[in-house]
Structure 1
Amino acid sequence: MSYTYLKELVYEANMEIPREELAIVTFGNVSGIDRTAGVIAIKPSGVPYHRLKVEDIVIVDLDNVLVEGSMRPSSDTKTHTLLYKNFPSIGGVCHTHSTYAVAWAQAHRAIPNLGTTHADHLVSPVPVTEVMTDEMIQGDYEHETGNQILDLFTKEALSPEEVEMVLVACHGPFTWGKDPAKAVYNAIVLEEIAKMAYLTLQINPAVTRIKQSLIDKHFFRKHGKDAYYGQGC
């Protein structure tokens, strides 16, 4: 079976990471899934973006077994596959080490909804996971990273279709979407939201969250049956 189309899709999404300055050298990775075939394509581990080629993209199944490729898949692969297994509507996952999003993750802080840019994309704060226990770190670390995200979404009753981004405490952001390109788009949005929130709190540390009426106006003009932003389908 040929996975050329999926590899090309995932390659292009990965190359957006350095273009958008979301990560440097080998940091970060994007994957995409073919649910019919039961496989994902993902960046190989430790390959700098300037050397990455379409044929380097690795294919694994949802049990993390190598299907196609001569390189080891990303070290974060188990996190990706766990998200695909538990969030059946998503088609792409992106992980970066973008500066401002990582800063919030390292601070163990959710990003509060302070303005309309944030509200255009999310009703809620950008959530942050609990800090991982030593037992989890010393066990199946990447699998447990995924479990941290799943536990948070269960505990907070969050929908992965409505909240397409998360901060893993001490680590960094993961985003997802209907395909790899949307997952990267959400990573770009998250980094900008993180930067804006940081600067806002530097200017006025006492600022409070945006009014609910403004959240509703900006979110629902872009989302849902009554949305009127953009040009439609």
Structure 2
Amino acid sequence: MYTELKREAYEANLEIPKQGLAIYTFGNVSAFDAATGVFAIKPSGVPYESLLPESMVVVDLDGRVVEGSARPSSDTKTHAVLYRAFGDIGGICHSHSMYAVAWAQACREIPIFGTTHADHLTAAIPVTEPMSDAAIERDYEIETGEQIVARLRGLDHREIEMIVVACHGPFTWGKTAQKAVYNSRVLEEIAQMAYLTQSLNPAAPPIKETLIAKHYLRKHGTGAYYGQS
């Protein structure tokens, strides 16, 4: 019943090491099926080279295992919170990419300095608040998801498909699991560019609003003209 969902999750997870987004067993991707209310996710602590499509664990939005014998990713509850909050997304990626994690550890949003950033979103990449001791002592993974949802309140998750969780690392999402990984790779590229920009010029200003609009709208919206129609 979940063969295709597990294959989607499997193929997306293999992109994490391929794209240099994590080492060893770090990171995870999930693929969500809104029709059945379940998602497939990487098993916890299993090296990417050992994964098979049938290795993926299928869980419901309450975190209960529906199919699979392995323990699902330790971040499963965070994924579930995001799927419950944003029912139109189809995939989530959590990586440990170096520059995105560095911004997270610095507890800083990633400023919008240039057109590469503006091609994908029109604002700084948000950062959550550091988690309180009380939240850490409750259900840490659920609280991580709730922090992301709280930070995105008032923002459009369909336009801002990436965030850095303070002291932790990046989470990205999209209509599919593959798009979530794509967004994670884009986030890492933007994070590195922003770091180098501030290293070269600590007083570098944000990109002009007119240039943001030009680059974003030529890829998105009804008047988009980038690529092949």
- Is this a same-fold pair by TM over 0.5? yes
> Which among 169, 172, 186 is matched to residue 172 of structure 1?
169
How much has 1:204 moved relative to structure 2?
A: 0.7
Please tell me whether residue 91 in structure 1 is matched to residue 97 in structure 2.
no
How much has 1:53 moved relative to structure 2?
A: 1.2
Alignment correspondent of 2:126: 127
CA distance in 1, matches of 2:208, 2:35: 43
> Which among 204, 208, 219 is matched to residue 207 of structure 1?
204
Residues 73-105 of structure 1 deviation map (CA, whole Å, 9 limit, x = unaligned): 000000101100111110000000000000000
Alignment correspondent of 1:33: 32
Alignment correspondent of 1:66: 65
How much has 1:55 moved relative to structure 2?
A: 1.0
Report percent identity of matched pairs.
63
Alignment correspondent of 1:21: 20
Name the aligned partner's letter for residue 174 of structure 1: F
Name the aligned partner's letter for residue 7 of structure 1: K
Name the aligned partner's letter for residue 156 of structure 2: S
CA distance in 2, matches of 1:213, 1:44: 45
Residues 146-202 of structure 1 deviation map (CA, whole Å, 9 limit, x = unaligned): 000011111xx1111000000000000000000000000000000000000000111
SS in 2 for 1:67: strand
Instruction: Compute the TM-score of the two structures, normalised by the length of structure 2.
Output: 0.99
CA distance in 2, matches of 1:50, 1:204: 41
Instruction: Compute the TM-score of the two structures, normalised by the length of structure 1.
Output: 0.98
SS in 1 for 2:193: helix
Any unmatched runs of 5+ in structure 1? none
Number of matched pairs? 229
Please tell me whether residue 162 in structure 1 is matched to residue 159 in structure 2.
yes
SS in 2 for 1:41: strand
How much has 1:38 moved relative to structure 2?
A: 1.1
Alignment correspondent of 1:52: 51
Alignment correspondent of 1:183: 180
Residues 121-154 of structure 1 deviation map (CA, whole Å, 9 limit, x = unaligned): 0101000000000011111000000000011111
Name the aligned partner's letter for residue 129 of structure 2: E
CA distance in 1, matches of 2:195, 2:37: 40
Alignment correspondent of 2:214: 217
Name the aligned partner's letter for residue 217 of structure 1: K
SS in 1 for 2:152: helix
CA distance in 1, matches of 2:163, 2:134: 22
Alignment correspondent of 1:138: 137
CA distance in 1, matches of 2:11, 2:71: 19
CA distance in 2, matches of 1:164, 1:101: 14
Aligned alpha-carbon RMSD (Å): 0.5
